[in-house]
Structure 1
Amino acid sequence: MKLKMYHWQGINRLNQKQKGVLIAESEQIARQQLLNRGLQQIKLQQNWQLSTKPNQAEICDTLLQLAILLKSSVPLKNSLLILLQNCTNIQLNSWLHQLLNQIETGLSFSQALQNQGQFLTLQERQLIQVGEMTGKLATVCNQIAEHRQQSVALQRKLQKILLYPMMVLGISVILTALLLIFIVPQFADMYGDNQAQLPFFTQVLLFLSDLLQQYFWLIAVLIVGIIILIKRQLKSSIWLNQLKIKLISNTPMLGNIVQLSRLVGFCRGLHLMLKSGVPLNQALQSFLPQKKTWQNKIELQGDLTLIQEIQSMLHWITHGYAFSVAVGAELFPMQAQQMLQVGEQSGQLSQMLLHIAESYQQQLDHKIDLLSQMLEPLLMVVIGGLIGLIMLGMYLPIFNMGSLIQ
């Protein structure tokens, strides 16, 4: 089933102009859907936008709307129909359509998700199964949506911080390349055939300038190819993932932010599982990547450090150790480990996990704000330093000549 996106305009029963976006298999089906809504004088225009995977925010909004509809006592099938009608992402619309078809064949919601669970994690599918069994599907969907909202909010904060430095670094690279391609050659012509007597740093800049002029497009294609290759290898290479983790952890501030983010996300997720009545071992297993039926091996996904920590926890728990003893310092700081022990001894492990998440969330927010304030002056120094070094390298021979004259 190939779905298409249409922009539509029409007039409703009150003679008011309406417009929007609609996903349908064909123009005829789209027109019929709009007629069923009571619209007239319909104008349709197909949008040739490519089918893209829905982002975290779109999935989160879908789950939140489903929770609201279920809480309002709207039946599950009708709730999915309403979501389907308002969904403007082709892949997400197709997913909802397949879920609806499977539910109509007699499968439960959790069984349909198990067959079409590409946009939900194993953890979320298990929570929905528990919600169905306990009659609290609306509550569980709402909790999943809230958990996703917190994750999306944190992700957006990090993206906001990293977007500015990436733009600045990109501009710095472009300016440096322009200087090497257009400005440095003019100095090279001025120095003529005496380049062998120039200072070493000036000779390096002239060599880089000559290299960029002759092989600019080859270098650009090579850099893009290396980036694509690294992204692909990150899905399967354990060594490359470990190198990435090591680089991030050794980066000042950023390593601490990633560690706190990992701890907060894990504690919130595990709290949600335990609160819904999922056993500890099963809850921990839900954080691990699962092998699809069509895959020959498990694809590396998620946080490798977290996966290794959870595997270690499961190993020690199966050997009879308590959860608070099985956790490692790589994930839980000593203070958090002590809080876990108190929560486990008092039978309030789920609530203690939430308390740990909220406590370390405050530290995480402070670190993120601090990093955002530090990056701007630091990046200005980087830009000024790159341009200054090039100018220094070009004028260095002139300075040397001035010192010889004196």
Structure 2
Amino acid sequence: MPAFEYEALDAAGAKTKGLLSADSDVGARRELRRRKLTPLKLNRVDERRSGEGAKSVNLAGLLSQAKLSEKELMGVTRQLSTLINAGMPVEEALGMVSGQMDRPNARKVLMNVRGRVSEGERLSEAMGGYEASFPGVYRAMISAGEGTGGLGAVLDRLSDYLEKAAALRQRIQVALIYPCVLGVVALLVVSALLVFVVPRIAEQFTTLGVDLPGITQFMIALSGFMQAHWSLVGGGLLVLILIFILALRRPAIKKRMDGFVQHIPGFGGFSRKIESARFARTMAILINAGAVLPDALRAARRASANGVFQDRIAKIINEVETGRALSDALKGAKWFPPLMLYMIAAGERSGRLDEMFEKSADHIDNEVDSAVSVGLSLLEPGIIVIMGGVVAMIVLSILLPILKLNSLVLG
């Protein structure tokens, strides 16, 4: 059924707003009267229909305004999994979950998905109109579950997948708070020394006519430049950051950056592990849901935002479709860890490919967690050492002329 957004008066004369499902405008008004509400405005929230007395919402506008956040998507997936596994029809489950959403825009998305499902579309097809809320790989997993009759099981595994990914992101964000604050404070201290302390010391040395060491001359020149052009420096940094962010939105530049990261010691290996874990987890869910191997590979390719990795998977898909074993194709990509390749080969021989993919994902996730813990534990002392070195240079640039002046006085 289509979804309608209404504004009405209740029995006490107070205005109220909300969403409801009905087969037509007349049915929606009838439902409002049944609830003892007097309709003031009634707009159909469906991009595919417009009519007299109803406000038409185009697809682009709807997608820009109504979108599920990552947290909401996790909650929706978990609730749908519970309800569908309990035997509730998909349409009713969507209606129940949408009624529990706090944000009106999130309710709009789910109500429209429910309306499209009630009109005969599959859940994955109905979600296709809201790509910003339901990523392509998410819909591919839903489609695989619908095709095999295991939608509830797929949603359950999708929930676990989303929650693990969110937990890792949250852990990294929380761990980065202190190093970021430390870095900002250290940068402010260094800037204050250059802007306020170094110029005062430089004035004293200039009046005394002392020959200054090279490091002191450099610091004085840097201090003078920052005093004269601090707005230019700050604005320039902001412009460079903005240009970099906009440039990364271009696929060609993004792919080059992805390739550059692969050659950075430490970061390249970490990036490959993250992509391998995501790939293995996605493949495990899709194969367990009954997806055909090439289709599963295509969906797993869409799950990645790394252009270099996508090219490798595209080559693997071509090789698998020509008859090459998956483990051999993965080995030829020269991307995945050796243990994962061994486990995939064992899964092909035993017919337990989904199980081996899941075990591989668990193993790589543990390695990623360990790498994150080590990296974050080294980040804080690294910032302290770097900023300590900068402060030491400033202090040294001040002390060297003083020591030289003392030696001249004593001599």
Q: TM-score range by the shorter chain?
A: 0.7 to 0.9
Question: Do residues 338 (structure 1) and 311 (structure 2) align?
Answer: no
The more displaced of 220-229 and 132-141 is 132-141
Question: Do residues 269 (structure 1) and 282 (structure 2) align?
Answer: yes
Corresponding position of 1:153: 167
How far the C-alpha of 1:222 sits from its partner, in A, is: 1.8
Q: Deviations over 1:199-248 (max 9, x none)?
A: 22222222221222222222212211211211111121534543455347
Question: Do residues 207 (structure 1) and 207 (structure 2) align?
Answer: no
The count of residues paired between Structure 1 and Structure 2 equals 363
The RMSD of aligned alpha carbons is 3.4
Q: Structure 2 unaligned segments of length 5 or more: list them.
A: 7-13, 21-30, 37-63
2-structure distance, mates of 1:403, 1:96: 80
2-structure distance, mates of 1:167, 1:3: 45
The more displaced of 181-190 and 66-75 is 66-75
Corresponding position of 1:366: 370
Corresponding position of 1:29: 17
2-structure distance, mates of 1:204, 1:54: 53
Give 1:323's match in structure 2, choosing from 306, 326, 331: 326
2-structure distance, mates of 1:374, 1:286: 36
1-structure distance, mates of 2:295, 2:334: 22
How far the C-alpha of 1:194 sits from its partner, in A, is: 7.3
1-structure distance, mates of 2:240, 2:91: 47
2-structure distance, mates of 1:204, 1:28: 68
Corresponding position of 1:282: 295
1-structure distance, mates of 2:209, 2:240: 33
Corresponding position of 2:186: 172
Corresponding position of 1:311: 314
1-structure distance, mates of 2:367, 2:144: 33
List aligned pairs for 1:238-257, cutoff 5 A: 238-239=252-253, 241-243=255-257, 245-247=259-261, 249-252=263-266, 254-257=267-270
Corresponding position of 1:117: 131
Give 1:191's match in structure 2, choosing from 193, 202, 205: 205
Q: Structure 2 length as normaliser, TM-score? A: 0.78
Corresponding position of 1:382: 386
How far the C-alpha of 1:277 sits from its partner, in A, is: 0.9
Q: Any idea what SS the aligned residue of 2:99 has?
A: helix
Q: Deviations over 1:146-204 (max 9, x none)?
A: 11112112222333333333332222222221221122221122222678942222222
How far the C-alpha of 1:109 sits from its partner, in A, is: 1.7
Q: Any idea what SS the aligned residue of 2:133 has?
A: coil
For residues 324 and 178 of structure 1, do their structure 2 counterparts lie closer, same or farther at Cα, with a shift above 3 Å needed? same
1-structure distance, mates of 2:263, 2:103: 36
How far the C-alpha of 1:86 sits from its partner, in A, is: 2.2
Q: Deviations over 1:296-322 (max 9, x none)?
A: xxxxx7122321221221232233321
2-structure distance, mates of 1:332, 1:399: 58
Mapped contact 1:257–1:364 kept (Cα < 8 A): yes
2-structure distance, mates of 1:3, 1:368: 46
How far the C-alpha of 1:251 sits from its partner, in A, is: 4.4
For residues 402 and 51 of structure 1, do their structure 2 counterparts lie closer, same or farther at Cα, with a shift above 3 Å needed? farther
For residues 161 and 256 of structure 1, do their structure 2 counterparts lie closer, same or farther at Cα, with a shift above 3 Å needed? farther
Looking at CA atoms only, which structure, 1 or 2, has the larger radius of gyration?
2
Corresponding position of 1:351: 355
How far the C-alpha of 1:354 sits from its partner, in A, is: 1.3
For residues 289 and 340 of structure 1, do their structure 2 counterparts lie closer, same or farther at Cα, with a shift above 3 Å needed? closer
1-structure distance, mates of 2:305, 2:364: 21
Q: Structure 1 length as normaliser, TM-score? A: 0.78
Corresponding position of 1:127: 141
Q: Any idea what SS the aligned residue of 2:301 has?
A: coil
Q: Any idea what SS the aligned residue of 2:277 has?
A: helix
For residues 281 and 203 of structure 1, do their structure 2 counterparts lie closer, same or farther at Cα, with a shift above 3 Å needed? same
1-structure distance, mates of 2:225, 2:307: 39
